């Protein structure tokens, strides 16, 4: 019964890069079920009661502050930071989660960190997985979250706590990002606050953070608004600092979740078009925007170019099917009267948000509120001001993008998904909920600016927060899943499939290697003298006329055999051991090194990316120490001179 329950949970919460979802659940035995057999799972905290108490305490503290300091205006940004802490307290509980990918990310992060310590600035090879045969995991999974986890680990956190810290920083940062962007765009604190609340407490945001523990998407929630914020800054001030800021932000988005970044790209281009200045700086603005996108692609070239070129050697894109939730799922959650977004067997709800849909519908009234008798009804709620031209352009762009992306979540859009090769790895159309949450929050932020009474807006925000209280944490934790238990079972993790498994080998036939290198023919003595994840050194003495040796590491372009410091021919298509490097030696004694080196595409892309990073750093420093280099671009046409 327990095993079947875990199976259902992991079938729902699979790693986004695996093409074989059903087989993927086999990896859970080591990460969760193994520890369940060792100990009983603790009872869940009564999180709803505790969350309600914390919320009540926060509200009471704010009222006390207003009572003690009645003349001091409470800053909405400060309130936003406090509100963003409400769904985070449950993350502080010890242990891993009952469902979601928290333990999986820790399993990925440990070999990544080990590879960094070995001197691999861009880790690619995971030597633990597939029963110790290894495969190029990090060439085909998003790298930035694991760099961030490694940074937290260096600071003293365990790997599990590092992931939790990253979730906390990402959640708070997402609210800060969209607040800054909407305030910059609409020049309204209430609009920025409202948009941030709807963005933070979007159901899919909470699902990603607590139920799926989708690190890439959770970080994308944070970085996405900063991409638009930096683009807005660049339209106002054409400086190297803003140019570097945009390239850096969009680059982090690509390194955090390439699928989300791919869908975001046309939105950024559309937004850049709406910012097109009306003065004589058009050409310079166009050059800066184009340079920003080019720098982003160059900065992340080390990641996406090898991924595109070397995917043909793996089964990463072997399945191009996209799963589509029903339309009803975007409007209603079937658990706990619609207020719980995860079912009892780990099923997930893909609802956009009840108040979100109402807010989007009400925002449409902004387009008609000045027409005749209709305005008479709406005048009780809406201010008499009309949207300025800039806000109308922004509203039209965001609404159009929202409708288009919502259409793409439906099964009727399947021909589009199948006809565009780059979208085949997207796997689930519900991932677009991340962008739908972002766009709907902006629409509601625009609406909030034209509500006559700010109190109404604040009450709606409070309701939006309150109805999500059942989802402010994963319901159960597993105390015995620690760094030690995960590391002890790394060799048994992902024994069958995973992102980046090579096409030359049948993973069902793999077995744990008895020795790092073995003799398949002839007579020889092998002594291992040095070993890291990417460098294996041996002293080999061949006592027969010839000997055939097999390196027990899965082959992938880059693995090279060196004999006495010279490149040596080898084969990886032998019928007896397909997918493993094999080579022959004549009688004698040799120093053999099997090393994972950069292929030409990796060598080229890394040099380009590192070179661009250095140039960007120089330009940023130049902009900081030479601020007069920035030129201001105004949306207002310069006044005509009077004679």
Same domain, 435 and 531: no
Does 429 share its domain with 527? no
Q: Is residue 121 part of a domain?
A: yes
Sign of CA dihedral 352, 353, 358, 362: negative
The Cα–Cα gap between 425 and 301 comes to: 19
Choosing from 492, 527, 562, the residue where a domain stops is 492
Name the percent of the chain lying above pLDDT 90.
62
Q: Which of 53, 399, 340 is nearest to 203 (CA)?
A: 340
Q: Say if 456 falls within a structural domain.
A: yes
CATH number reported for the structural domain that contains residue 561 in this entry:
2.60.40
Rounded distance between C-alpha atoms, residue 386 and residue 71, angstroms: 31
Residue 369 and residue 213: Cα distance in Å, rounded?
Answer: 42
Sign (positive or negative) of CA dihedral 456, 203, 268, 631: positive
- Evaluate whether residue 553 is within a structural domain: yes
pLDDT, tens digit, 9 for 90 and up, residues 240-274: 889 999 999 999 999 999 999 999 999 999 999 99
Same domain, yes or no: 565 and 466:
no
Give the pLDDT confidence score for residue 30 in this predicted structure. 39
Residue 363 lies in a domain: yes
Residues 257 and 299 in one domain: yes
Domains contained in the chain, number: 2
241, 177: one domain = yes
Inside any domain, residue 411: yes
Is the same domain home to 430 and 536?
Answer: no
Res 25 pLDDT > 80: no
Q: Out of 438, 460, 492, pick the residue that ends a domain.
A: 492
Model-wide pTM > 0.95: no
The mean pLDDT value of the chain amounts to 86
Statement to judge: residues 548 and 408 lie in one domain: no
Asked if residue 345 and residue 439 are part of one domain, the reply reads yes
What pairing do the DSSP bridges indicate for beta strands 535-551 and 477-478?
A: unpaired
Give pLDDT tens digits for 349-385. Answer: 999 999 999 999 999 888 776 554 455 556 667 776 7
Same domain, 522 and 377: no
CB atoms within 10 A of CB 72: 9
Q: Is residue 100's pLDDT more than 80?
A: yes
Tens of pLDDT, residues 43-54: 445 778 888 999
Query: Does residue 635 form part of some domain?
Result: no
Q: Would residue 638 count as lying in a domain?
A: no
Same domain, yes or no: 444 and 541: no
Angstrom distance (rounded) from CA 509 to CA 322:
29
The backbone torsions φ and ψ at residue 191, rounded to the nearest 5 degrees and listed phi first, read: -65, -45
Task: Say yes or no to pLDDT of 10 above 70.
Answer: no
Answer whether 406's CB lies under 8 Å from 436's CB: yes
Top-confidence residue, 172 or 499 = 172
| Same domain membership, residue 581 and residue 443 | no
The residues, ordered by sequence, that sit 6+ positions from 376 with a Cβ below 8 Å of its Cβ are none
Strands (E), 186-320: 237-238
Residue 18: predicted pLDDT: 39
Per-residue CA distances from 198 to 27, 93, 363, 452, 507 (Å): 36, 26, 14, 19, 45
Print the domain residue range for 166: 2-492
Higher per-residue confidence, 389 vs 296: 296
Residues 27 and 84 in one domain: yes
Q: Look at residue 499 and tell me if it is in a domain.
A: no
| First-last CA distance in the chain | 89
591 SS3 class = strand
């Amino acid at each position: 019964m327990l095993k079947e329950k875990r199976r259902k949970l992991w079938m729902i919460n699979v790693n986004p890069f695996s093409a074989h979802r059903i087989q993927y659940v086999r990896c859970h035995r080591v990460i969760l079920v193994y520890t369940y057999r060792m100990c009983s799972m603790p009872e869940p905290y009564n999180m709803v009661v505790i969350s309600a108490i914390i919320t009540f305490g926060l509200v009471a503290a704010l009222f006390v502050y207003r009572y003690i300091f009645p003349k001091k205006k409470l800053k909405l940004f400060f309130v936003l930071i406090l509100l963003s802490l409400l769904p985070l307290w449950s993350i502080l509980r010890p242990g891993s989660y009952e469902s979601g990918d928290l333990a999986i990310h820790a399993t990925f992060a440990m070999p990544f960190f080990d590879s960094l310590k070995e001197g691999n600035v861009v880790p690619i090879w995971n030597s633990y997985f597939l029963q110790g045969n290894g495969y190029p995991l990090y060439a085909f999974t998003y790298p930035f979250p694991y760099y961030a986890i490694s940074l937290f680990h260096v600071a003293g956190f365990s790997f599990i706590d590092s992931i939790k810290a990253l979730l906390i920083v990402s959640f708070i940062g997402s609210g800060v990002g969209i607040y800054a962007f909407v305030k910059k765009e609409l020049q309204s604190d209430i609009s920025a606050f409202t948009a941030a609340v709807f963005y933070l407490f979007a159901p899919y945001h909470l699902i990603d953070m607590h139920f799926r523990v989708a690190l890439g998407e959770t970080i994308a929630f944070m970085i996405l608004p900063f991409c638009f914020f930096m683009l807005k800054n660049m339209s106002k001030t054409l400086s190297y600092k803003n140019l570097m800021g945009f390239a850096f932000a969009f680059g982090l988005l690509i390194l955090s979740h390439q699928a989300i970044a791919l869908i975001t790209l046309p939105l950024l281009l559309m937004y850049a078009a709406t910012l097109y200045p009306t003065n004589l700086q058009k050409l310079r603005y166009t050059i800066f925007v184009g340079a920003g996108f080019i720098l982003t692609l160059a900065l992340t070239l080390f990641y996406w170019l090898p991924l595109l070129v070397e995917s043909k050697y793996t089964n990463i894109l072997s399945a191009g099917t996209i799963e589509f939730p029903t339309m009803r799922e975007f409007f209603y959650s079937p658990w706990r009267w619609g207020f719980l977004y995860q079912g009892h067997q780990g099923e997930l709800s893909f609802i956009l948000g009840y108040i979100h849909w109402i807010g989007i519908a009400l925002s449409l009234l902004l387009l008609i509120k000045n027409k005749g008798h209709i305005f008479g009804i709406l005048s009780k709620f809406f201010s008499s001001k009309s949207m300025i031209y800039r806000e109308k352009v922004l509203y039209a762009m965001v609404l159009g993008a929202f409708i288009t992306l919502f259409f793409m979540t439906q099964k009727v859009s399947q021909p589009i998904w199948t006809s565009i090769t780059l979208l085949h790895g997207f796997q689930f159309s519900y991932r677009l909920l991340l962008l739908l949450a972002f766009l709907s929050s902006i629409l509601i932020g625009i609406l909030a600016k034209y509500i006559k009474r700010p109190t109404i807006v604040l009450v709606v925000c409070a309701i939006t927060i309150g109805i999500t209280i059942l989802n402010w944490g994963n319901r159960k934790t597993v105390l015995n899943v620690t760094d030690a238990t995960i590391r002890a079972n790394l060799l048994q993790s992902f024994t069958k499939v995973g992102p980046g498994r090579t096409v030359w080998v049948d993973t069902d036939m793999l077995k744990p290697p008895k020795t790092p290198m073995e003799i398949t023919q002839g007579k020889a003595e092998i002594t291992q003298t040095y070993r890291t994840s990417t460098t294996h050194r041996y002293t080999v003495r061949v006592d027969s006329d010839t000997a055939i040796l097999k390196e027990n590491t899965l082959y992938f372009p880059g693995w090279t055999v060196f004999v006495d410091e010279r490149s040596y021919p080898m084969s990886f298509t032998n019928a007896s051991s397909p997918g493993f490097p094999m080579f022959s030696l004549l009688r004698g004694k040799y120093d053999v090194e099997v090393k994972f080196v950069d292929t030409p595409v990796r060598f080229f892309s890394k040099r380009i990316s590192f070179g661009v990073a250095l140039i960007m750093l120089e330009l940023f420093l130049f902009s900081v120490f030479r601020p007069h280099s920035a030129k201001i671009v105004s949306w207002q046409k310069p006044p005509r001179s009077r004679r």
